[in-house]
Amino acid sequence: MESKIETNELLDRLPPHLKQYIKPQNYEQYTPINQAVWRYVMRKNVDYLAKVAHESYVEGLKKTGISVDEIPSMYGMNRILKEIGWAAVAVDGFIPPNAFMEFQAYKVLVIASDIRQLENIEYTPAPDIIHEGAGHAPIIASPDYAEYLRRFGEVGAKAISSAHDIDMYEAVRELSILKEAEGISQELISAAEARVEELQNKKVKPSEISLIRNLHWWTVEYGMVGTVENPKIYGAGLLSSIGESVWCMKEEVKKIPYSIEAAYQDFDITKPQPQLYVTPDFAYLQEVLEEFANTMAVRKGGWRGLKKLIKSKQLGTIEISTGLQISGHFSRMIKNEDNEVVYFETEGETALSYREKEVIGHGISRHKKGFRSPLGKLKGINLAIENMGPRDLQAYNFYDGKPIEFEFESGITVAGLNVTGIRNLRGELMLIQFTDCTVKYKEEVLFSPEMGDFDMAVGKEIVSAFAGAADYHSFNLVTHNATSETIRPRLSEIEIELNSLYKEVRTIRNSEEIDATKLQQVFKTLKQNHPTDWLLSLEIYELVSSTDSAFSEEVLDNLLNLKKERPKVAHLIEGGLSLLATRTKEIIN
């Protein structure tokens, strides 16, 4: 069994906090039934999607090494994806949204390596290799779309989440696992559904990650391109679902011109979508993405951005006007009457960076118990420290090794011994170190000498706020523990026998000559021991339909009987028969 992870140059550059999600594909875990499910979906999809998908889809299947006949291996995909500058990794189901986005920023496709069960052949709420490999991978052969995906990852990775988002992610992950697993009681599934519904109905202000996740859903997952009157499919959720790819083209599904309004349209992952958005072309996706990015804290900063970080309770970063970046868990801010942040605090491990690189000597070992600093202009001077030249600093007694006392316009006072300062590339002071320092606001002592050295951030304002650390090396981020794991099916004896029959047919198909005698033996066992299975009968009929023999008639009769006995899969049987070149019209009619 494959237990190692195949790597390449693109994967080697991934940071450790992303590599922690990568799992071996374990190709040998795919059963012969799994392979048959892949083959059925792909044959149906390629036949149908060639007519309704974006032109890059079929060409992309070839470019990305996706075979119709067998589940792709990550190694094979990566070897071919490398030619278009991308890579792919296997993961266990859903991963946190920010991590998913960051993988895209590194031009790496995240592929859930499990595959849907035969019972869920049309659609599964759990991410699987059909959805990811046959849905996402082919479209990145389009350069415009590939760049949109990469840029989306960059923007999305900076989006700030909320505690509600984390709860929702865990609930949806658990539900998708339970719905796809075999032998799970309806009671457990109903409880998980109730939890998701409860969270969906909870009245909370949408976070940045929830809004950008909506954009991702209505484009990358369920997007259409062209005109409202004549749309083509490009979203992976549609490309990988033989049910929804047909359903979405019907008039019952409302088609809406794509715009930033899609960010405010929620979705239900467990149901077909009642409306879809149509972009005129892939370049327009970039325009809307940039329009949305302009509303985010990463570009707007200010008190609203800091407030989002405080409410998220997640690791985040602010950047102030000198370029100094403070990464940690933000816990407090003080604003003035103009809603400008004049003071902020973090709690716990904090690191300071400049241009995404940790400032030497200012990592978490120095700032174990948090970081705090005033911001703004000095009182009576109308000048921020960052704008002071050498003469200004001298005039206001900012000397290294000299005691100093000064007051900000906000009323915050700082008194201590000025030890040294650190400057940015423009020569501006961005950090000043004090000893024996006291910082006060009104009657409150914000910092006292007993707390050690005081490192004061220099800056007028917060210009950016975003999720995660400025320098991912500053923190130990390899800490993810999923609250739920994909449930691996344990095959019963009867299931093992059925898989062996699928394997025999697969071997016969791949041989130079079709062994009709062996096929008859397989079919006899299938009818006796597995009378409700339809897919293997379809595979057998595919091999003998052109022989016009009594055996082919017998297999066909069995399929037609199954259509009557199992109305829920009748359309799947019909769909498989329609792919065959002979007797199609007679069968369908």
Give the domain extent around 169: 9-213
Give the helix/strand (H/E) hosting 433. Answer: strand 429-441
Residues in the chain, how many?
589
Amino acid letter for position 67: S
Report pLDDT for 480.
62
Report pLDDT for 587.
42
Q: pTM of the entire structure?
A: 0.84
Backbone angles phi, psi at 127, to 5 degrees: -65, 140
Q: Are residues 148 and 71 in the same domain?
A: yes
Report pLDDT for 276.
96
- 402: CB partners within 8 A, 6+ apart: 417, 418
Share of the chain above pLDDT 70, in %: 94
Q: How many domains, the chain?
A: 3
Across the chain, mean pLDDT equals: 88
Work out the angle at residue 187's Cα, subtended by the Cα atoms of residues 181 and 192, and round it to the nearest 5 degrees.
Answer: 70
Task: Please state, in angstroms and rounded to a whole number, the distance separating the CA atoms of residues 433 and 451.
Answer: 13
Report pLDDT for 130.
85
Of 213, 244, 260, which marks where a domain is finished? 213
Of 154, 179, 213, which marks where a domain is finished? 213
Task: Please state, in angstroms and rounded to a whole number, the distance separating the CA atoms of residues 277 and 270.
Answer: 19
Output the six-digit token pair for 351.
Answer: 């690191």
- The answer to whether residue 223 sits within a structural domain is no
- The answer to whether residue 138 sits within a structural domain is yes
Task: Please state, in angstroms and rounded to a whole number, the distance separating the CA atoms of residues 335 and 519.
Answer: 78
Output the six-digit token pair for 516.
Answer: 């009709």
Among the listed ranges 355-364, 380-389, 417-426, which one has the minimum average pLDDT value?
A: 380-389
Report pLDDT for 1.
37
Q: Are residues 326 and 434 in the same domain?
A: yes
Task: Please state, in angstroms and rounded to a whole number, the distance separating the CA atoms of residues 538 and 557.
Answer: 11
3-state SS, residue 214: helix
Share of the chain above pLDDT 90, in %: 57
How many Cα atoms occupy the beta-carbon half-sphere of 508 within 13 Å? 23
Task: Please state, in angstroms and rounded to a whole number, the distance separating the CA atoms of residues 571 and 354.
Answer: 60
pLDDT tens track for 148-173 = 999 999 999 999 998 788 788 778 77
Among the listed ranges 120-124, 138-142, 276-280, which one has the minimum average pLDDT value?
A: 120-124
- 251: CB partners within 8 A, 6+ apart: none
Q: Are residues 548 and 424 in the same domain?
A: no
- The answer to whether residue 250 sits within a structural domain is no
pLDDT tens track for 508-527 = 999 888 888 999 999 999 99
- The answer to whether residue 58 sits within a structural domain is yes
Banded pLDDT at 77 (limits 50, 70, 90): confident
Beta bridge partners of 378: 408
Report pLDDT for 104.
93
- 208: CB partners within 8 A, 6+ apart: 159, 160, 161, 296, 297, 308, 467
Q: Are residues 23 and 80 in the same domain?
A: yes
pLDDT tens track for 449-488 = 999 999 999 999 999 999 999 999 999 988 766 555 555 6
Report pLDDT for 5.
58
Report pLDDT for 126.
67
CATH number of the domain residue 328 falls in: 2.30.30.100
For range 50-59, the mean pLDDT:
88
Output the six-digit token pair for 4.
Answer: 């190692």
Best CA proximity match to 431, nearest among 442, 441, 419: 419
Tell me 489's DSSP state.
P
Q: Are residues 437 and 497 in the same domain?
A: no
Task: Please state, in angstroms and rounded to a whole number, the distance separating the CA atoms of residues 462 and 200.
Answer: 33
Q: Are residues 66 and 175 in the same domain?
A: yes
- The answer to whether residue 555 sits within a structural domain is yes
Task: Please state, in angstroms and rounded to a whole number, the distance separating the CA atoms of residues 419 and 398.
Answer: 10
Give the helix/strand (H/E) hosting 578. Answer: helix 570-578
Q: Are residues 468 and 508 in the same domain?
A: no
- The answer to whether residue 107 sits within a structural domain is yes
Q: Are residues 309 and 450 in the same domain?
A: yes
Beta bridge partners of 467: 316
Q: Are residues 19 and 94 in the same domain?
A: yes
Q: Between these two residues, 270 and 115, which has the higher pLDDT value? A: 115
How big is the chain by its Cα radius of gyration, in Å?
Answer: 30
Of 175, 193, 213, which marks where a domain is finished? 213
For range 253-273, the mean pLDDT:
89
For range 248-260, the mean pLDDT:
94
Task: Answer whether 116's CB lies under 8 Å from 132's CB.
Answer: no
CATH number of the domain residue 59 falls in: 1.10.800.10
- The answer to whether residue 292 sits within a structural domain is no
pLDDT tens track for 480-490 = 665 555 556 67
pLDDT tens track for 182-228 = 667 888 888 887 888 887 777 888 899 999 999 999 999 999 999 99
Q: Are residues 469 and 499 in the same domain?
A: no
Pairing label, strands 429-441, 454-457? antiparallel
Report pLDDT for 584.
44
Q: Are residues 457 and 517 in the same domain?
A: no
Q: Are residues 458 and 497 in the same domain?
A: no
Amino acid letter for position 550: A
- The answer to whether residue 441 sits within a structural domain is yes
